[in-house]
Structure 1
Amino acid sequence: MMGAREEERTGFQEGSGFGEKYDLQTDFVMVYGVSATMPERIRQWAERGYKVHLMTGVSWGGYQEYLNGQYDGRPHWDEAQTYKSGETIIHGTSREIPYMVPTVAYADFLTERIRPAVDAGVDAIHLEEPEFWVEGGYSEAFKREWLIYYNEPWQDPDGSCDGQYRASKLKAYLYTRCLDRVCSALKEYSLVKYGRPLRFYVPTHSLINYAQWRIVSPESRLLDVPSINGYIAQIWTGTSRTANVYEGVAAERTFETAYLEYGIMQELVRGTDRRMWFLHDPIEDDPKRTWSDYRANYIRTLTASLLHPGVSRYEVAPWPKRIFEGQYPAENGEGKEPIPPDYATTLLLLMHTLGNMDQPEVEDFGNNVRIGVLMADSAMFQRKAPGVPTAGFMLKYDGTNEVEMTDEYALKLLLYSSFYGLTLPLLKHGLPVRPVQLDNIRRFPGYLNDYRVLVLSYEFMKPEFPDIHASLAQWVRDGGALVYVGDDSDPYHQVREWWNQGAKPYLTPREHLFECLGLAPDRAEGVEAVGRGVVVYMKEHPERLAESAEAADRLRHAVRTAIDKLGDGRRSWLPANHLMIRRGPYVIASVMRESVSEEPLRLTGLYVDLFDPQLAVRETVVVQPGHQVLLYNMQQIDQPGRSGIIAASSRIECFMSEADSVSFTVRGPQGVRAVARVRCGFQPSSADYTVPGRTEPLAYEWDNRTSTLLIRYEHHPGGAEIRIR
């Protein structure tokens, strides 16, 4: 059953007003956009019982009155992000919507533009996608900001590694400043005028995806902005199906990529009181794919998110109108077709199941080694080789999600093998790798305590502060195992930064780290004990570890050596082709291809299959490689004789259980075929469906093994009552 809407466990974003056909009945809705219709759209959704938030773009939007000078009397097109060629970087296909350089004037404009949403009574505001493209940095506004920030004249970001690194640091700072200014001003306004606290959230892609797609965003810097209350992890098929290389093969690996993306986003809230919602998208921005393609990849991303139990809030869909009213290419290639009824039913089943994922009991199955691969914001700062043109590489936000490749260098950039070379060889063999935010080591004492093994390389990112190394070295001395991978060949080691600017300069940040560990900077690769811990040094560029099976094995051997050297018999790594956890009664598993075997995962027990639109009861579940499963374990129920909802493709309200009857109200999108499996303390003799003006009998199927019945019905505007006698 769904909890109170005040908990805001599930929500969606929608640019249209209320519509019966996409009334998902989540806890909250994010009304999208600050157009003149915004107050009316807010009113419509609030009247239907939703908690109402506002969402708008922070780096782009329909802000023509600002750009063209109507807002303050001067045009602001010089604040549009600009290529080296002088061409404006646009969002989508309209030349009128550029990505913006977030100046102080632009932040103040956003504050005024969003203020009417506060007046309309929204509970929270989401400023989405603070994005500055790596290819940008040539507008007059950016040149002014460079002079203000660095106290030196602007330099061409494409002229040197130092120019690119410094430009990217500035880009991250500018959006951090913008968000702080807008959020603080409107929070004060809400308190002064209405005495009402206002919350701010930042929907953002993962650090992994932004680095891969060559976009700069604040990411972990948002932790230093006190006016921000949390985030939405914008991870979906469109980000996670971006190809990468494993054992020399470039391919889409949606599940594995999504698993890593959700993992790094969890680090933005771990150990804090901030909220995180994980996003799923049942389709994606690319309208050329079939419903079967959308479904398969949606299941992969959803399963990946559920394997991270530290988060239990979800944005169940962006743009539900395009899901439930849109049409996409037919499977036979002839014309387009609306959403298949079974997929619509499954989507609603899963959306409402997500509201129950805050489970106190979590159990991991399989490998119990807590291993992290360190990732830093600076990974976004060195995503271009000076003098090599790559503007044609940019991903297009025009509804096609296409990538234009100019040459082999652009393709190599997009594959991002430096990161995936450190992660996929471990994940593919059943090790539950967690990306760990390097920058957080200095923010939170004991941040690394949950991990026994860490993998690190400075060949594709850099430590922004030297004190990170003191904490990392102490973690090793206290019994951690550090696997360092790098050959010091990255040209970005020479940028003007702390490791080469102080009284004792170092050629690379690795040299400073090794000094903190008590190791000689020029030591040979190998294994060395440090205190109660160990350092394994691989003198190799991580990109090479993606090139072949033999290279992947070298990384696996180094990590296994680190685990063995710790001498903890309780920690082991047994190669496996799957990941699996339990969250309360829910069992989540994914079996991977390209792994140690092609054997399926076999589970026996008594399960309800939540990926099945008929909510089938299964005693044996077989999960083939490349597939996932989400099950309700009927043997995990605490009170077997008690009535309750196992799963339903509806919001369940007013649930009443008596000795001889069970009744409840169901709500959901009009016209969608709905299903529910209900556990009863008695074997039923009838089931009725009541809407204003009529009552009719419902057919049902009784399952004696689980004491549940399956009912099917359609949603009705205003809801319907179901009574089981």
Structure 2
Amino acid sequence: MKKLKFYASISFLAWAYMHQGNVAAQVKSKQKTSFQVSAPWSPDYDVRSDIAMVYGINDDGGKFEERVKGYRDKGYEVQFMTGIAWGQYKDYFLGEWDGKNHLDEGQMMRNGETIWHGKNVPYIVPTATFLTYMKTHVKRAIDAGVTAIYLEEPEFWARAGYSQTFKDEWQKYYGFPWMAQHESPEATYLSSKLKYQLYFNALKEVFSYVKTYSESKGKRVKCFVPTHSLINYSSWQIVSPEASLANLEGMDGYIAQVWTGTSREPIYYNGVEKERVFENAFLEYGSMVSMTAPTGRKIYFLTDPIEDRSRSWDDYKVNYEATFTAELLYPMVDNYEVMPWPNRIYRGKFPVEGMKERQPISPAYATQMQVMVNSLNQMPLSKNTLNGSHGIGVLLSNSMMFQRFPTHQGYDDPQLSNFYGMAIPLLKQGIPVETVHVENLANKNTLKDIKVLIMSYANMKPLSADFHLELAKWVKNGGVLLYYGRDNDPFQNVKEWWNSNGNTFKAPSEHLFGLLNVPQSESGGIYEVGKGKVYLVRKDPKELILKANGDEDFMVNVKRAYENDAKAGKFIVKNNFVLERGPFVIAAVLDESQSKEPLILNGTFIDLFDPALPVLNTKTIQPNTQAYLFDVNKTENKNKPQVLAAAARITDEVSTKKSYQFLAKSPSKTNNIMRILLAGKPTKITASTGGKNLSLTQNNWDEKSKTLLLGFENFSEGVNVNISW
């Protein structure tokens, strides 16, 4: 009834007909955006996404049901998130739950020390007893009425694996005594495979319980895994089930946990090790897409306006823009976790350069952030693609995590360079390189659009011979495979399918080359295979980036493979990426590229990275920066009054020939700014909350774009805006 109080003469059916597009959009976006939060609801961080993922049964003083009710009462769909490898489970670890102390179930390093996530909170070896305990948490959440369960970060540190609990799990799984992983590549590999399997089984068991219990109550509670990318876990030397979960029964999807903290991990290129946040984020999000897209599972992309480590607000802002841009360059994803821990963002204090005392978030950054996160509620799926040469992929496998720690026989892979060596040289030249998960090769969609595939077994190993059958079939049908590798790392000799049960291959690549009828040349070569080709290059990919100009021959090979062999079109090198998604224009300009020139875009744009929301006719984007624009000329229904950009969530829109009204909600004590498309210059504007009129901080009409710049103070309970012209 609230929507109709100003227009009592309009019947509901007539009103609904007039605004069916907006109603449909609201219904469609019901589960489009979310945030995770342990703190009780507060107007100070009332983000107004669709979903509030209330974190932890025991977190933030407990009172879980009260916290759930608090967010539900404010109109959120409420879901539940908690850690599967760690969490506020002190009642379990200290014996309050079953009378037994369980700290011995923590992940232990070789020196006998436990790896801790916090005081009395170890990273855990997921035992049967622990999973029984976890079921009590998800049961309580289901009883509280949540619609989904998120078990985040199934993480087993590569440097762990020395506790008695892990040794017992080893004996049960392998049927022979534990082997210390530092003593041989074989022991490292087996240790990692067990860690991988333990968390696969843990999620399988708890999710199975969620489905069974929720269905017994007449519901279907969904199950998701928020997880770092395979790239990040491999880099950080963590083992996790990753891609295998995509085919797990009862698994509904993922949250791709990519943010400044993961993407700022330094990587090598052209012999220089440094942070390359945009490039890293682009590859991380891409690896999550390649993991899930063939399976049809749902995926949310996460970004964070700050990060766990304490840095300056300026640092946060620059890197937030970089990661945010990277996520939007994947037009096949339109679901987002807009932030974790909003109370930390809005109430936290962090360094500001030149100031001794830590400072809260600046009003300008808060406004910019709110413009960005609210734009995600409008972000459409798109069939548009990034500018550039498509169809080039780099092969990944879960086994990248298996040989990261410790090193053996002096073979090192600094900063995961055996992966980045295949991807970063292409990305830096404006090639929208994709990643391909070997675990998905049997799915017909996985290689459908890949023309050139680059791979190596220097940094990973195939867990099944079946993968090679799929690769061989793809090449013979016209695919071009570039294999880079000396095949001399110590993990080539671990006891696996290629050297056991009648197989005697010295390296897994020998099996693949045998299927392709490619000779085992020490010097490499280029070979025709059916309708396709194979390039065999006897270099490990890390050699392409650990020294200056190490990638020159590599780029020549990829260009030749793409243009001449795959006949995929022109191999376009450039220093930028640009994508249009509806009215949104997303752009990034690369440094360390073939050009140092800026990218210049012309049009009628609202700059969404500028808290003043200026209208620009020209946007110049310098190398190593990004841009996020709203193209006013691409607005749908241009004759309809509408908010194009705002630092608030806009609902309850009603318009006539001479007026437009809506409700704007955003965290209290922040500043709203918005660009509104109107038929003409307003003659009257009011903004009110609780019956009190607010002063307008901005009220500027731009005749050329037909937009009003409007500003006022935000209130969580909402501000009613009425505009007449």
**TM over 0.5: same fold?**
yes
For 2:617 and 2:407, locate their aligned partners in 1 and report how far apart those are by CA, in whole Å: 59
Correspondence for 1:418: 418
Residue 697 of structure 1 and its aligned partner are, at CA, apart by 6.2
Three-state SS of the structure 1 residue aligned to 2:370 is helix
Tell me how far apart the structure 2 counterparts of residues 328 and 708 of structure 1 sit (CA, whole Å): 36
Contact 1:535 1:562 in 2 (8 A): no
Note the residue ranges of structure 1 that are not aligned, 5 or more in a row: 389-408
Counterpart check, 1:124 vs 2:148: yes
Match of 2:47 in 1: 24
How far the C-alpha of 1:252 sits from its partner, in A, is 0.4
The answer for the alignment partner of 2:642 in structure 1 is 644
Contact residue 479 and residue 566 of structure 2 kept, 8 A: no
The match for 1:197 is 220
SS in 1 for 2:75: coil
Mapped contact 1:241–1:257 kept (Cα < 8 A): yes
TM-score (norm 1): 0.94
Q: Name the residue aligned to 1:149.
A: 173
Corresponding position: 1:374 with 2:395: yes
TM-score by length of 2: 0.94
1:87 corresponds to 2:113: yes
Describe how 1:379-390 pairs up with structure 2 within 5 A.
Answer: 379-385=400-406
Distance change (3 Å), C-alpha of 1:458 and 1:387: closer
Check conservation: 2:389, 2:572, Cα contact below 8 A: no
Contact 2:331 2:383 in 1 (8 A): no
Q: Which amino acid aligns with 1:552?
A: D
Which residue, 656, 660, 663 being the options, matches 1:662? 660
The alpha carbon displacement at 1:696 in A equals: 4.8
1:38 aligns with 2:64: yes
Q: Which amino acid in 1 is paired with 2:31?
A: E
**Secondary structure of 1:321's aligned partner:** helix
Corresponding position of 1:251: 274
User: Is 1:633 equivalent to 2:655 in the alignment?
Assistant: no
Q: How many residues align?
A: 697
For residues 208 and 551 of structure 1, the distance between their equivalents in structure 2, rounded to whole angstroms, comes to: 22
Q: Distance in 1 between matches of 2:450 and 2:136?
A: 45
What's 1:396 paired with? none
Residue number in structure 2 paired with 1:114: 138
Match of 2:249 among 226, 235, 238: 226
Distance 2:237 2:713 in 1: 45
Structure 2 residue aligned with 1:712: 711
1:186-242 Cα offsets, whole Å, 9 max, x none, are 2211221x2111111111000000000000000011123111111111110001001
Match of 2:78 in 1: 52
User: Which of residues 253, 270, 283 in structure 1 aligns to 2:306?
Assistant: 283
Residue of structure 1 equivalent to 2:316? 294
Deviation readout 1:433-473 (Å, 9 max, x if unpaired): 1111111113x124211111110000010110001111111
> What are the superposed Cα offsets for residues 694-722 of structure 1, whole Å, 9 maximum, x if unpaired?
23564521111211111001112411110
- Please state whether the residue corresponding to 1:664 is helix, strand or coil: strand
Residues 632-673 of structure 1, C-alpha deviations (whole Å, 9 max, x = no match): 112223433222121111111111121000110000100100
Corresponding residue for residue 506 of structure 1: 505
Equivalences for residues 160-175 of structure 1 within 5 A: 160-175=184-199
1:457 is matched with which residue? 456
Residue type at the aligned position of 2:222: R
1:71 match: 97
In the alignment, which of 365, 368, 381 is matched to residue 346 of structure 1?
Answer: 368
2:676, 2:445 → 1: CA distance?
Answer: 45
Q: Residue in 2 aligned with 1:211?
A: 234
Deviates more, 1:379-388 or 1:668-677: 379-388
TM-aligned CA distance change 1:296 to 1:6, over 3 Å: closer
The aligned runs of 1:488-507 (5 Å cut-off) are 488-507=487-506
Distance between the aligned counterparts of 1:360 and 1:347, measured in 2? 23
User: Which residue of 2 is the match for residue 687 of structure 1?
Assistant: 685
Separation of aligned partners in 2, 1:627 and 1:69: 52
Local SS of the residue matching 1:87: coil
Instruction: Tell me how far 1:113 sits from its aligned partner.
Output: 2.7
Aligned to 1:566: 565
Instruction: For residue 269 of structure 1, report the CA deviation from its aligned partner.
Output: 2.1
Q: Is the 8 A contact 1:344 1:672 kept in 2?
A: yes
Identical counterparts, % of pairs = 39
Give the whole-Å Cα distance in 1 for the aligned partners of 2:580 and 2:519. 45
Match runs of 1:391-540 below 5 Å: 415-442=415-442, 444-522=443-521, 524-540=523-539
Code of the residue aligned with 1:174 in structure 2: it is: L
In structure 1, how many angstroms separate the alpha carbons of the residues matched to 2:294 and 2:673? 38
Residue deviations 1:594-642 (CA, integer Å, cap 9, x gap)? 1111100011111111111111111111000011001111222343322
Please, which runs of 5 or more residues in structure 2 have no aligned partner?
Answer: 1-21
Contact 2:256–2:301 (Cα < 8 Å) also in 1: yes
Instruction: Give 1:691 shift.
Output: 1.6
Structure 1 residues 520-568: Cα deviation after superposition (integer angstroms, max 9, x where no partner): 2336412122122111111101111112333111211111121133262
* Residue matched to 1:8: 31
| Superposed displacement of residue 73, structure 1 | 3.7
Rate the CA distance shift 1:131–1:600 in 2: closer, same or farther, 3 A.
same
The runs of 4+ residues in structure 1 deviating greater than 6 Å are none
CA–CA separation in structure 1 for the residues paired with 2:448 and 2:591: 32
Give the structure 1 partner of residue 349 of structure 2.
Answer: 327
Cα RMSD, aligned residues only: 1.7
Output the amino acid matched with 1:207. Answer: L
CA contact (8 A) 2:694 2:713 kept: no
The residue type equivalent to 2:285 in the other structure is: Y
Instruction: Name the aligned partner's letter for residue 103 of structure 2.
Output: W
Shift of 1:723: 0.9
Query: What CA distance in whole angstroms lies between the structure 1 residues aligned with 2:615 and 2:29?
Result: 33
SS in 2 for 1:12: strand
Q: CA deviation at 1:679?
A: 0.7
Hey, what's the Cα distance between the residues in 1 that align with 2:432 and 2:312?
31
CA contact (8 A) 2:522 2:538 kept: no
Distance, in Å, in 2 between the alignment partners of 1:638 and 1:694 is 33
Q: Which residues of 2 match residues 601-616 of structure 1 at below 5 A?
A: 601-616=599-614
The Cα shift of 1:64 comes to: 2.4
The Cα offsets for residues 384-431 of structure 1, whole Å up to 9 and x where unpaired, read as 24579xxxxxxxxxxxxxxxxxxxx99x75522111111111100010
1:361 Cα deviation after fit: 4.4
Structure 1 distance, partners of 2:255, 2:566, is: 40
Rounded to whole Å, the distance in 1 between the matches of 2:314 and 2:100 is 50
Task: Assess if the C-alpha contact under 8 Å between 2:333 and 2:381 holds in 1.
Answer: no
Letter matched to residue 369 of structure 1: H
> How far apart are residue 82 of structure 1 and its match?
0.6
Matched, 1:312 2:337: no
Q: Which amino acid aligns with 2:295?
A: T
**Higher RCO (C-alpha under 8 Å, 6+ residues apart):** 1
Report the equivalent of 1:678.
Answer: 676
Residue 554 of structure 1 is matched in structure 2 by: 553
Q: Find the aligned partners of 2:627 and 2:352 in 1 and give their Cα distance.
A: 26
The correspondence for 2:207, drawn from 183, 196, 210, is: 183
Aligned partners of 2:294 and 2:440 also within 8 Å:
no
- SS of the equivalent of 1:312 reads coil
Whole-Å separation in 1 of the counterparts to 2:648 and 2:103: 47
Q: Is the 8 A contact 1:3 1:355 kept in 2?
A: no
Give me the whole-angstrom Cα distance separating, in 1, the residues matched to 2:481 and 2:78.
Answer: 46
How many angstroms apart in 1 are the aligned matches of 2:635 and 2:407?
A: 60
Which of 274, 279, 286 lines up with 1:263 in the alignment? 286
Contact kept? 1:240, 1:258, Cα under 8 Å: yes
Q: Please, which of 573, 581, 584 is the counterpart of residue 583 of structure 1?
A: 581
